[in-house]
Structure 1
Amino acid sequence: MSNRCLLIVDVQEGLFSTPRYDSKALIARLNRLAARFRAEGSRVIYVQHCGPEGDALHSSEPGHALFSALEPEPDDLRVAKESCDAFLNTSLAATLADLGATQLIVTGFATEFCVDTTIRSALAHGFETIVPEDGHTTADRPHLSARQVIEHHNATWPWLISPVGGAKMMRCADII
């Protein structure tokens, strides 16, 4: 068993029903990356946002489901969250401790919200954190295009200050 885990954050029907920047290619990269992790004995963890009752991401709603183009396997783990931080009031930290994980590869949606917050939290929790620069996406925003948001965050994450340094940036294909 490896000491690293792949986190796939908020790639859910309710968030991908509207096309996202580079989403088709992103999903293909995430599926390949997940297959590589499973083949080496590393765990894949899908983090799913759970909205309040009546919200499209509530656990009883179709929008809560993993995006249909993902290829999860029965042994993959799932963590439910209710905020942008996949660690806050969730089972993630305990799950990672039980697995002996020391390194996280963080991917998913949305770059500037849940992906960013989870990366910062992972670093604060002392995890060596790798972010595939082509492993996350977002939507166009009123002030910036999705591509600009992604480029900004890819340039910012390596400079974060934490006990283990900033995030290490790589392309999905280079994560072995």
Structure 2
Amino acid sequence: MKAQSDVALLIPGIFDRGHSMLLMQQALKDAGFSAHYIHLRYNSGWHGMEHLSLQLKHQVDALVAKHETCAIVGFSMGGIVARHYLQVLGGIERVHKFISISSPHFGSLWAGFLPYKGGRQLRIGSDFLNALNSDVQCLSCTAPVSIWTRYDITIVPHTSSRLPIGEYYEFPVKLHRWMPFDREVIAAVTGELVRARN
């Protein structure tokens, strides 16, 4: 069995260069974690989730010792990138805790307006998401947590942000993009990672 490291990787959402994760990164550092924002290119999703999750794999291999595991926190599309890494690229062996924040696990209506591969993959009922969700139980070893808000008008329907397994938190955050900035969301993520460490 691999040892748990204090490495926490933060994966931002679509078109996001990481500013949304800075407060969370600092909070995790204050709690004693080695928190890293993972900038994926090109995070429009133009080349698809596979292109991004392979980059995530390279980052995990570079930042986490081979005999250790890490925690992954994915915001919005970042949570789907993380799931592909976990479920398809063998990341399940390298990660002991997975948290998604407002990720479209079952797709979003708005993804239909993105006329490229990543957009097609994030649409409701896409073959890509159906394949991940058919094997969702494999995530149970990461003690998954999904965090969502019923006021989300980016992830439509908003219940798409809830994984069918693991724990979930709902917070009354008014906008999708505010989720990773929200103090309660940050506290919930920090608390989950601290408990996973103990």
Higher helix fraction: Structure 1 or Structure 2? 2
| Greater RCO (Cα-Cα under 8 Å, separation 6 or more) | 1
